Structure 1
């Protein structure tokens, strides 16, 4: 399968649209999309997932009402939130996002979202030699609930320059993506260069005139579909119906150095004594992973 792209020899391919593919092998996924850093939607990655059809609003309301989330200063139980998301409208949207770490708060559900998609020749996020503290600030697995009219609060690049995988477990979701070469139009915040100052759904062109040059790709990810996109792609989402998603982060050779360097900067703020050793360790671990993948370990 040839992706819908136009090529510049000096740059990454410019994406005209995001392909939706089925029956793609792991090797094809790596060759055609992951290695060239092209976003893609896999339509049938969840065909064996027990969670499909099981993870409904009613399921979470009945079985996980103890899980809570504070959004804009107010705390909701998942039971309360499900009622809000089902009644949500564009005029009166449920607060968004209601998200929680599935590994910590509902680990028994992980078996229902397998087999996993690998974003490389190995799953570096789960490598036994990668310390968990080096993933501080992100969640490997995260459930998101939202209702009609909800939208993610800001346009952003994911923490630690991790690659992104999002599967629609229930309902659909619109994604708005901007390629990395459009970063000059995104007006990154001074205190956090991975977050845009622009309200993508109501942009202030007087304040952010370069955003007029931005060229988003809008795509709807339907129930059962999985979108995968590489780091440095700016993105946000919008919802038009009750929606439950599963987010998953990925590491591979392409983003390893960015991850290691960003982790170093993060550690300097809260664990400065280990920042430099962690950076050196990450560099060595990356070389080991490269070797393991090359020889098939």
Structure 2
């Protein structure tokens, strides 16, 4: 255990020192950067070599200077049986990581590299080629209309959030029923929307029949166990331009597949949680009303927001975003968009290096 703590924290200290040269996140995975319009990549092999070459004696001394032992005792003393306590552990561990300014795009790593050098860090990453060669890569609006157009979605969002709120503090939003064929015709401009068809957003719905999931859906290739035991059933999010999802936090590590169109994400690290003014019901932000402009809150009323570090980026068709638990995210459809996501069961991956119980739980579900 002592050796594990020392290795990880020297990795963080080493990365911070060499950040401008290596461009690595926490000494673990690749950042792709454009320099003089040429995309350059520090290879994952370099990351693995850097990680394996640490001097553990120096790492131990470094960890003592940082007061690591005391900090870890506080973190690991949290009762993990409570979902709230488990989330607070994610926030505490995230506070030990460096701030990031963007999300790297990398080629899909091997399962071993993902589990060892990406997932435990707790930072987001975009995989550019995970769907290449899969059935999902062949999807298009015409194919979807022909194959699944008969499906009717009865809880489709109609328009964006209003200023009215429920007794629980959540903003009211209209709902309607729409077939996928009608949605696609409106979204792709084949016909003008009828009354009640403006601002359609099909959210968290099944689009692939259960019996066809194994054939049609490409689960994240990082864990060797049963997909049904490791991942929640995939759900679809299909929206017209301008529709959005307000800021919120997922309770599990998320894999978001951008199948068609583009989505703009604005995310905040778990380090920013206390500065975002979540409501007591934890379902929304006190100041959030419109993602389309992502207006900043009144800083006189919400002064802590000035300390946050929002990161905005667009996920394009064919890319997959890995978003660890704890990251607040706003999402906006910037073109007719189809995203399918799945969440991994079990504790947040960032906790497995620090908790033998959590590591065993992930293995029980996904190996």
Q: Same fold (TM over 0.5)?
A: yes
Matched with 2:314 is 220
Q: Is the 8 A contact 2:258 2:317 kept in 1?
A: yes
1:30 aligned counterpart, secondary structure: helix
Matched with 1:126 is 228
Matched with 2:73 is none
- Long gaps (5+) in structure 1: 129-134, 259-284
Post-superposition Cα deviations, 1:85-142, rounded to whole Å, max 9, x if no partner, equal 22499xx962324441246x45415422225333xx55587338xxxxxx9xxx5311
- Of 257, 278, 284 in structure 2, the residue corresponding to residue 195 of structure 1 is 284
Matched, 1:76 2:178: yes
Using the size of structure 1 for normalisation, the TM-score is: 0.71
Matching of residues 221-240 of structure 1 within 5 Å: 221-240=315-334
Deviation at 1:221, TM superposition (A): 1.1
- Of 142, 160, 164 in structure 1, the residue corresponding to residue 235 of structure 2 is 142
2:138 aligned counterpart, secondary structure: coil
Deviation at 1:4, TM superposition (A): 3.9
Matched, 1:166 2:261: no
Larger-gyration structure (1/2): 2
Matched, 1:18 2:103: yes
2:238 aligned counterpart, secondary structure: strand
1:184 aligned counterpart, secondary structure: helix
What is the total number of aligned residue pairs between the two structures?
A: 251
Matched, 1:111 2:215: yes
Question: Structure 1 pair 67/25, CA: closer, same or farther in 2 (3 Å)?
Answer: same
Question: Structure 1 pair 124/114, CA: closer, same or farther in 2 (3 Å)?
Answer: closer
1:176 aligned counterpart, secondary structure: strand
2:338 aligned counterpart, secondary structure: strand
Question: Structure 1 pair 30/287, CA: closer, same or farther in 2 (3 Å)?
Answer: closer
2:343 aligned counterpart, secondary structure: strand
2:113 aligned counterpart, secondary structure: helix
Question: Structure 1 pair 150/253, CA: closer, same or farther in 2 (3 Å)?
Answer: closer
Q: Is the 8 A contact 2:107 2:127 kept in 1?
A: yes
Matched with 1:35 is 120
Matched, 1:151 2:266: no
Deviation at 1:51, TM superposition (A): 1.9
Cα distance in 2 between the residues matched to 1:18 and 1:256: 17
Q: Which structure carries more relative contact order (alpha carbon 8 Å, separation 6+)?
A: 1
Matching of residues 252-291 of structure 1 within 5 Å: 252-254=346-348, 289=361
Cα distance in 1 between the residues matched to 2:203 and 2:188: 13
Q: Is the 8 A contact 1:17 1:217 kept in 2?
A: yes
Question: Structure 1 pair 238/4, CA: closer, same or farther in 2 (3 Å)?
Answer: farther
